[in-house]
């Protein structure tokens, strides 16, 4: 599989590492509980003793602690204990020493909200609610007289969304030592050669080395051997160069001179896009090409479906209406459409030896889903740990999926991507 300029595309934590060294933090303590002399001394000195019972990673720093906090568990009821915020995780340890530590990586946090105000009355009416991308909502009640909520809220905002505060991601603060350099896992030329590229039919090009052809496409990719630079430098609506390039892709397949164009969108959406200057391929213009719509909805529809599923599952499930409730979210239908689309692509490539071109409206969400799933099914290499790392680099990162914009770095809770 290869890709086409524009929006088109062809086809753990080891506790033994932590030790017991004395850990100090440069951040002032959040431990505001009454009668905690040692905590107050730590606060005044601007340092925090590392809690020995927390499984901190090398480079993970305690930025604050708040005692006498109540975790409002929707299943087992309230639990009072200590809340600890680091530059990587939120930890809650119940006063009951036999209970487990609750750990929440801050990258999982979608948004943080304050609950209640100065006039709030009633037990547990004043605190913080944390909305997570794994469908959990965690609520922690604070006592107003402790004045701990504001500081905890600010710490969470700061380290859950580090780029908005001009901080580094924890990945760059992590001091774990690994035997392998992760930056060298994916080498595009080596991967293309592993796939057999650079032969009589296909060649490797660096025409986009400076990202002047397409800024969301990689510097290196494969094109038909007979392709000239001018064939891939023209973009826009239907044009002769585009039709010629598609023909070159078909000619590069010695086992079939037909192409299947898989458009990820629903038919109605593709037609509507014509009004915006988009549209879809005409089978009359692309000889020996067959156009297929896969009926996969856009990210806005998917996000709304997931919201309904979360409301159905959390915090309680009504078993008598479970099946009808799941059906009403359309979540499983959306998953089925994506999987069915990947299976259709694999069938055309594997059983019919046909070239398949995949695209959607933008090219960095549904397109990557389909191509990555198809490659997982077609090539066992991608089902290994190393191969899966390469696949994410190749099909997602190098082709412009907006990980930074839509995942962990900014508190844009309503712009989150859920496609991966």
Lowest mean pLDDT among 93-97, 378-382, 389-393: 93-97
What average pLDDT does the segment 133-144 reach?
Answer: 92
pLDDT of residue 401: 83
Query: 270 falls in which pLDDT band (50, 70, 90)?
Result: confident
Domain 15-172 has CATH 3.20.20.100: no
> Among positive and negative, which fits the CA dihedral 33, 37, 39, 43?
positive
Give the confidence band of 44 by pLDDT, cuts at 50, 70, 90: very low
Q: CA-to-CA distance for 392 and 369, rounded, in angstroms?
A: 10
- The label of the residue with tokens 């879809």 reads 280
The pLDDT of residue 395 is: 93
Most confident of 11-15, 97-101, 316-320: 316-320
Of residues 339 and 145, which shows the higher confidence score?
339
CA distance 94 to 148: 17
pLDDT for position 419: 59
- The DSSP H or E segment spanning 263 is strand 259-263
What mean pLDDT do residues 165-179 have?
92
> Residue 416: is its pLDDT beyond 90?
no
Q: 314 pLDDT band (50/70/90 cuts)?
A: confident
Residue 294 CA to residue 281 CA, distance in Å, equals 14
The model carries a pTM of: 0.79
The pLDDT tens digits for 17-38 are 333 333 333 333 333 333 334 3
Across the chain, what does the average pLDDT equal? 83
Residue 5 CA to residue 362 CA, distance in Å, equals 11
The pLDDT of 259-274, averaged and rounded, is 88
* Domain ranges, ordered by start, for the chain: 15-172, 180-415
- Does residue 315 have a cis bond before it (omega within 30 degrees)? yes
- To the nearest 10 degrees (0 to 180), the angle between helices 331-346 and 322-329 is 60
Alpha helix (H) ranges present in 161-262?
Answer: 188-194, 240-251
Residue 129 has pLDDT above 90, yes or no: yes
Least trusted range by pLDDT, from 93-97, 374-378, 388-392:
93-97
What are the binding residues for substrate? 273-276, 298-299, 360-366
Active-site positions read: 360
Q: Is the pLDDT of residue 96 over 50?
A: yes
Sign of the torsion angle spanned by Cα atoms 129, 132, 134, 135? positive
User: How high is the pLDDT of residue 40?
Assistant: 39
Binding-site residue ranges: 273-276, 298-299, 360-366
Q: What is the CA radius of gyration of the chain?
A: 26
Give φ, ψ of 167 to 5 degrees: -105, 160
Residue 237 has a pLDDT of: 60
Q: For residue 420, what pLDDT is reported? A: 59
């Amino acid at each position: 599989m290869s890709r086409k300029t524009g929006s088109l595309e062809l086809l753990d934590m080891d506790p033994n590492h932590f030790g017991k060294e004395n850990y100090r933090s440069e951040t002032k303590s959040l431990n505001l509980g009454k009668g905690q002399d040692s905590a107050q001394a730590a606060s005044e000195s601007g340092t925090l003793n590392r809690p020995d019972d927390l499984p901190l990673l090398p480079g993970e720093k305690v930025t604050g602690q708040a005692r006498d906090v109540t975790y409002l568990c929707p299943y087992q009821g309230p639990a009072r204990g200590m809340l600890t915020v680091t530059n990587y995780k939120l930890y809650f340890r119940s006063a009951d020493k036999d209970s487990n530590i609750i750990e929440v990586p801050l990258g999982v946090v979608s948004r943080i909200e304050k609950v209640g105000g100065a006039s709030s009355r009633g037990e547990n009416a004043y605190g913080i609610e944390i909305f997570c991308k794994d469908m959990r909502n965690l609520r922690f009640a604070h006592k107003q007289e402790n004045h701990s909520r504001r500081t905890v809220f600010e710490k969470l905002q700061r380290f859950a969304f580090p780029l908005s505060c001009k901080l580094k991601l924890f990945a760059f603060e992590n001091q774990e030592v690994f035997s392998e350099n992760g930056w060298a896992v994916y080498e595009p030329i080596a991967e293309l050669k592993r796939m057999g590229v650079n032969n009589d039919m296909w060649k490797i090009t660096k025409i986009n080395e400076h990202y002047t052809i397409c800024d969301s496409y990689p510097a290196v990719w494969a094109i038909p051997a007979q392709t000239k630079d001018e064939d891939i430098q023209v973009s826009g609506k239907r044009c002769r160069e585009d039709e010629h390039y598609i023909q070159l892709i078909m000619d590069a397949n010695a086992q079939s001179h037909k192409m299947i164009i898989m458009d990820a969108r629903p038919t109605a959406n593709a037609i509507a896009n014509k009004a915006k200057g988009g549209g879809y391929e005409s089978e009359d213009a692309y000889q020996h090409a067959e156009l297929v719509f896969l009926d996969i909805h856009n990210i806005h529809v998917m996000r709304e479906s997931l919201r309904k599923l979360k409301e159905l599952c959390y915090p309680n499930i009504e078993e008598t209406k479970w099946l009808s409730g799941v059906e009403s979210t359309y979540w499983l239908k959306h998953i089925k459409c994506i999987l069915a689309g990947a299976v259709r692509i694999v069938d055309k490539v594997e059983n019919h030896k046909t070239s398949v071109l995949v695209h959607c409206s933008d090219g960095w969400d549904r397109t990557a889903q389909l191509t990555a799933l198809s490659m997982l099914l077609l090539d066992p290499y991608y089902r290994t740990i190393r191969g899966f790392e390469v696949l994410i680099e190749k099909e997602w990162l190098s082709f412009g999926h907006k990980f930074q914009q839509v995942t962990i770095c900014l508190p844009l809770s309503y712009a989150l991507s859920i496609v991966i």
